[in-house]
Structure 1
Amino acid sequence: MQPHPKLFPRTWMGDRRRSFKADWYKIHPWLEYSKMSDSAHCYACRHFSPPNSTDTVFDSPSGFKNWKKATYKEGGFAIHAKSERHTHAMIAWKDYQRAVTSNETLANVLNKEHNKVVQENREYIKTIAEVLLLTATQNIAQRGHNESADSDNKGNFMTILETIANHDKAVKKRLTSIHNAKYTSKTIQNEVLGCLADMVRSEITEEVKNSEVFSIMADETKDVKKKEQISLVVRYYFNGAIQESFLHFESAERLDAAGLTEKIIHILESNGLEYKNNLVGQAYDGAAVMSGKHSGVQARIREQAKYAFYVHCNAHCLNLVLVDTVKAVPEAEQFFSLLEKLYFFTSGSYVHPKWLDIQREMYEGAPRELQRLSDTRWACRFISLRNIMDRLPALKRVLQDIAQERNGERSIEVRGLLAQLDLEFIVHLVTLRKVFAETTFLSDMLQSSSLDISKAVDLVESLVQTLNDFRQESFFDNLWDEVLNISEQCDTAIQPAAKRQKRLSSKLAESFVLTTVGQRETEQDKHGFRTAFFYPVIDQMLNELNRRFSNTNCDMMNSIQALNPKSDAFLKETSLFSFAQLYDANIEDLGHELHQFSRILDRKIKTGMQRPDSSVELVQLIEPYKEVFLSSSDCKIAVAIPVSSASCERSFSTLKLVKTVLRSTITDERLSNLGLLSIELRRSKALNLDLFVDRFAKNVKNHRIMLL
């Protein structure tokens, strides 16, 4: 208090009467006067002095009364103003005044400090998440064998984090702080990865739910620990396009149909997907346990989801077409066996450098390697056929050079291979290259996630038409000209040497032979090659295509064609009968809607709109009218039905990168989460890390740092 009476009480001090003076208030704003005790006090020290500090006369009840010494330079007010206790009290008082002036209460000050700490913690956790996302999306290991402080190699996660710390003081402070607040343990890593994967998985499931209908694709494979892993992918129409999104890796203890079905249903239920009415398709390979009509996985799924139409993976069907075609034509089977031998021979440590050097000498550009033949991906054999055809002169030259060397065993092997590279070999090479070029294109298209079933039917029919065109004489004439050209480049004899006439066994001399006896008579001329090899390959492939792609689902496939703008059956009510019957559509109402929509479509085309080119474009066109045309849901079903299970196969490539020999002890949950973040790379990179921290703070308990 700073009262201003007209007169202050006067007290005899020495030879004169002295009193407190109001002017002292201006010199010392902290000064206050007590009328009751006629004494001076320090307001700052009485209210804001540090705790446990020694009291002075200015904040005692009796106060300061020696007015004679009040203004001394080395006493009274001056001495008190210089004291450490008074200085700290004044600072605290000024801070309080500033807080009151800015309406900043103590609670607000504490809240600001809390928010500052929380923000620092959130930024640190986001850095942890970013590093784990980087390692997950790049398929590199997170942990090291020894992550202790004195380890030379602590693993990718800690090494990257320490590199960031060299440029970020906040991260460095965290890593050098108390041990249990670093958030770098394997448990925290699993929790962070799990939270990130859940965000990606939630985004996928929300899209599936908004799309109304969806299909599933599943396949299984053995990981590096020989454990069976099921890959589940969902297919649906969302945001104007077909989506195929990976959902989960799940280990399978039982490989029977019941066990696999149980796993698939568990994955769907754990992700909150309504499959009983919304699951409209399923695609697997042709294994009996998956495709069995009565007790396979597809049949068991149909028992719980009646609309789940089964599709045998079309890419797998095409692979079987090629396998069966080659097996049915002995010359083709032997030809590929010869290619395999050529691959192994040129890959040897002695031959391989010579093979590369001769290519560099004869051709511009990088040398080409002969490809090892795959037993499961026959369409890839086109690359092997192409490379051998383009480098056949170089191949013959390297074999001829080695044949002249003195190494007896190798020379004998080379001469045997050279003898096989004759006119017959070139005919087989050119023919199979032509055929496999067409099937490779179809194989690539069938594995595309954006392909719908109606377009797949078109592509298969196009291949059949192409192979039929191959049977025309003009086509073989052009092929024969190519054979002669290659033969000339390779210095291969056009007229083969005379061969000994083969005779029938004397045991069959008086028998009527109706089947083959293991002997083949081949005419090595244009006509002979055409009838003995070219036509058998083409005809066998046509037969296999018709058999594999004209199965019990043929009616359904043809029905879906009615929703293909390029089909002759487009929007025809009668063609949609099988489709409507499976999905419980009202045929009469569907007919009326199709008629009305057809008229709208014609009117829009007349006004300049481009005619839809595919079933997907048809869905894009009809979707704005979904309240009017209930058939829009039928169009979504048509594009949601899977074409192949190739997306599952692609996920296995990631599985092999994540679970390696050095990471074979990874848990199933961590494997699935890392696989999801890697496969769904686009979604992972787009994650909002602020939302991640919110979710992490709510889902993970026992935090040692504040995040909210």
Structure 2
Amino acid sequence: MFGRVRIDLALDEQKRIDIVEHNKKVTKNREILKRFIDVVCFLGTQELAFRAHDERKDSTNRGNYIELIKLLSLYDEKLATHLQEASVFSGISNHIQNDLIESVASIMMDSIKAEIKECMFVAILLDETSNVSNHSQLSTMVRYVTKSGYVCEGFLGFTDVSADRSATALSKHVIETIQQLCCGDKFIAQAYDGAAVMSGELNRTQAKVKEVYPKAFFIHCCAHVLNLVLSQSVNHMKECKLFFSTISGISSFFSHSTKRSNALESIIKLKIPHVAPTRWIYNPRLVNTVYHHREQLIEFFTSIEENPQNWDKDTIVSAGGFLTFLKDFNSVFLLNVFNYIFSHTDLLYNILQKKSYEINHCVSQINETKSKILNFRESFEEQYNAIINLVGEPKKHRKLPENSNVFYKRIFFEIIDTISFQITIRFEKLSSLDFIELLNHKKFKDYKAVFPEKLLTSLKNSYANHFDFVRLANELVVLYSSSSFYEKEIFEIFQYIKSNELEDATPEIFHLCGLIITIPYSSACVERSFSALKRVKTYARNATGEERLSSLSLLSIEQEHLHKLKTNDSFYNNVIQHFCKKNRRIELIYK
């Protein structure tokens, strides 16, 4: 027992008693600090302000942090006693608040880094926006698959890049981030929104990053590409440009007047969607709404014309124009065409916004959407006759050829051909990832008959250092021969191997699944972090510092991760341990 007994305590009883009392005091102080940590976590996840304008003792509102602690003290005797008796460390000062926020965020970041260290592959996602203080904030996120088999898109923080947004500065940020995460050997992809400074192939961010990490394949955010397809496809066509200008005017007509908006809601029980110039995908929602509620809108605009005494002059004039627009053959024809196209592109856009799919599934959905749009080309006569039955023959005018059927057939084919061509061209770069077809379950029977050597060569050219290709080929032969995998998507194959503990039996297929799942197809998650930024740093809270801003954003964006950490008792001890790195005027360290 000699090595288990402290000699100094055995010889000095008083010292032993002092240490026991000290540790009791530390336990009590740590229990109090846990309350403060919980308050920080609550305010951070709920995106509430911590401080108030006036925090003096006689103030009626000293801020959410202090007021919440005071509320808890009404039902917590230990906390109430601490607040009454504390003379050197009350725990409510602004410095303590900042240190606790930083400590919680630091433990969360350590946990995310630990997950990244254990994962097979990592991809980085970047995007930039301006905050309420007119500072340029660069949001950094990483995509990876956890050890337990879940896809994560972890937030790493905001960086102020107002001083320098050049490709050199951004690429330096990416390289430093990868070095800090110690994951250079498994860094396999980078995804940005397509801005020239990031996506250009010569001397731009992605090119400079590839100079250091040659295997970091660049993905232009597919959701952003789809947005460009829809906006650029019809922009050159005069008829389409006039159509969308007018239909967006309907949205503005209602959004600029509460009286009009309220009157419309009483008729169709629905609000007309707003149109954002930078988010062209909102136009489909407007088109679909107008298409399905065209008759009600006609009824509404007619009621305005029939009751002019209830409306102002601008409303009456606009209502007459929109009424003519909604009854016109040309408008109804284009409304019908774009409603069909947008019903499919809107579904695709929603798929491209989710993190739970893999890039193989997204590529197949893109091709399927393109195929459906091309098939729609064969239905012109059916669509044309349906519009005639609905609103009558198109009116004759000098700009319209004698044969209106030929005129609208040209427009119909041009819209479909342009959109399908744009989809082909803008998603063309994804064809360089053709190795993802190795795990396309729809082709397993074909691969069983003829092994896909070209796809395996494609993988070898892209990620040669990550696989044993002889073993991978053998495992794929077994995979293609097994009916157990014939109906499984890549993520389902990955989960099947994981749940049945087959990682050691099929390690190369398991790694291939992990690689394909990790490759990002969208940077939508980064854009969602901007929403958190706007809620955390508001007009009333525009003085938030950069470090505090990133920490609070981390608590908000990664709140699911935080809740998981809090289920483990070690979370509070780790936060307190980090909090104690600075000298504190309270005993928190055990002897």
Above 0.5 in TM-score?
yes
Partner of 2:174: 264
Given the superposition, is the C-alpha separation of residues 384 and 690 from structure 1 closer, same or farther in structure 2, using an over 3 Å criterion? Answer: same
Partner of 1:534: 412
The unaligned stretches of length 5 or more in structure 2 are: 1-11
Partner of 1:209: 117
Given the superposition, is the C-alpha separation of residues 369 and 476 from structure 1 closer, same or farther in structure 2, using an over 3 Å criterion? Answer: farther
After TM superposition, give the deviation of residue 559 of structure 1 in Å: 2.2
- Give the conservation status (yes or no) of the 8 Å contact 2:187–2:216: yes
Q: In the alignment, is residue 343 of structure 1 matched against residue 247 of structure 2?
A: no
Equivalent position amino acid for 1:694 in 2: N
- Give the conservation status (yes or no) of the 8 Å contact 2:472–2:508: no
Partner of 2:534: 656
Larger Rg: 1
- Give the conservation status (yes or no) of the 8 Å contact 1:470–1:476: no
After TM superposition, give the deviation of residue 442 of structure 1 in Å: 0.8
Q: Aligned residue pairs: how many?
A: 561
RMSD between superposed Cα atoms in Å: 2.6
Q: In the alignment, is residue 251 of structure 1 matched against residue 160 of structure 2?
A: yes
**For residues 116 and 184 of structure 1, what CA distance do their matches in structure 2 show?**
23
- Give the conservation status (yes or no) of the 8 Å contact 1:328–1:540: no
After TM superposition, give the deviation of residue 260 of structure 1 in Å: 1.1
- 1:611 alignment partner, one of 458, 463, 486: 486
Given the superposition, is the C-alpha separation of residues 691 and 192 from structure 1 closer, same or farther in structure 2, using an over 3 Å criterion? Answer: farther
Partner of 2:588: 707
**For residues 542 and 498 of structure 1, what CA distance do their matches in structure 2 show?**
31
Partner of 2:475: 597
Deviation by residue 1:250-302 (Cα, 9 ceiling, x = unmatched) = 111201001111222233334x3232x22110011211110111211001111
Tell me, what secondary structure is at the counterpart of 2:422?
Answer: helix
Partner of 2:267: 358
Which deviates more from structure 2 when the two are superposed, residues 167-176 or residues 406-415? 406-415
TM-score (norm 1): 0.74
Partner of 1:575: 455
**For residues 393 and 631 of structure 1, what CA distance do their matches in structure 2 show?**
55
Alignment of 1:159-198 (within 5 A): 159-198=67-106
Given the superposition, is the C-alpha separation of residues 197 and 627 from structure 1 closer, same or farther in structure 2, using an over 3 Å criterion? Answer: farther
Deviation by residue 1:533-578 (Cα, 9 ceiling, x = unmatched) = 3222111101101111113x52x22122223323467662221212
Partner of 2:318: 413
Greater share of helix residues, 1 or 2? 2
Partner of 1:383: 285
After TM superposition, give the deviation of residue 107 of structure 1 in Å: 5.4
**For residues 225 and 124 of structure 1, what CA distance do their matches in structure 2 show?**
36
**For residues 191 and 197 of structure 1, what CA distance do their matches in structure 2 show?**
10
- Give the conservation status (yes or no) of the 8 Å contact 1:566–1:614: no
- Give the conservation status (yes or no) of the 8 Å contact 1:193–1:670: yes
Equivalent position amino acid for 2:321 in 1: G
Equivalent position amino acid for 1:144 in 2: A
Partner of 1:95: none
- Give the conservation status (yes or no) of the 8 Å contact 1:135–1:142: yes
- Give the conservation status (yes or no) of the 8 Å contact 2:45–2:556: yes
Q: In the alignment, is residue 669 of structure 1 matched against residue 547 of structure 2?
A: yes
Tell me, what secondary structure is at the counterpart of 1:218?
Answer: strand
- Give the conservation status (yes or no) of the 8 Å contact 2:30–2:588: yes
- Give the conservation status (yes or no) of the 8 Å contact 1:195–1:692: no
Q: Which has the higher contact order (CA 8 A, sep 6+)?
A: 2
- Give the conservation status (yes or no) of the 8 Å contact 2:141–2:157: yes
- Give the conservation status (yes or no) of the 8 Å contact 1:126–1:690: no
Given the superposition, is the C-alpha separation of residues 412 and 625 from structure 1 closer, same or farther in structure 2, using an over 3 Å criterion? Answer: closer
- Give the conservation status (yes or no) of the 8 Å contact 2:223–2:353: yes
- Give the conservation status (yes or no) of the 8 Å contact 1:565–1:618: no
**For residues 522 and 307 of structure 1, what CA distance do their matches in structure 2 show?**
59
- Give the conservation status (yes or no) of the 8 Å contact 1:693–1:707: no
Partner of 1:321: 229
Deviation by residue 1:14-66 (Cα, 9 ceiling, x = unmatched) = xxxxxxxxxxxxxxxxxxxxxxxxxxxxxxxxxxxxxxxxxxxxxxxxxxxxx
**For residues 409 and 659 of structure 1, what CA distance do their matches in structure 2 show?**
38
**For residues 123 and 336 of structure 1, what CA distance do their matches in structure 2 show?**
61
Alignment of 1:18-33 (within 5 A): none
**For residues 258 and 522 of structure 1, what CA distance do their matches in structure 2 show?**
59
- 2:438 alignment partner, one of 562, 571, 575: 562
**For residues 420 and 437 of structure 1, what CA distance do their matches in structure 2 show?**
22
Given the superposition, is the C-alpha separation of residues 440 and 408 from structure 1 closer, same or farther in structure 2, using an over 3 Å criterion? Answer: closer
Partner of 2:426: 548
Which deviates more from structure 2 when the two are superposed, residues 454-463 or residues 348-357? 348-357
After TM superposition, give the deviation of residue 109 of structure 1 in Å: 4.9
**For residues 219 and 402 of structure 1, what CA distance do their matches in structure 2 show?**
45
Given the superposition, is the C-alpha separation of residues 179 and 611 from structure 1 closer, same or farther in structure 2, using an over 3 Å criterion? Answer: farther
- Give the conservation status (yes or no) of the 8 Å contact 1:138–1:678: yes
After TM superposition, give the deviation of residue 630 of structure 1 in Å: 4.1
**For residues 559 and 442 of structure 2, what CA distance do their matches in structure 1 show?**
34
Partner of 1:117: 25
Tell me, what secondary structure is at the counterpart of 1:245?
Answer: strand
Equivalent position amino acid for 2:152 in 1: Q
**For residues 575 and 517 of structure 2, what CA distance do their matches in structure 1 show?**
37
TM-score (norm 2): 0.88
After TM superposition, give the deviation of residue 106 of structure 1 in Å: 5.4
The unaligned stretches of length 5 or more in structure 1 are: 1-103, 360-366, 488-492, 503-519
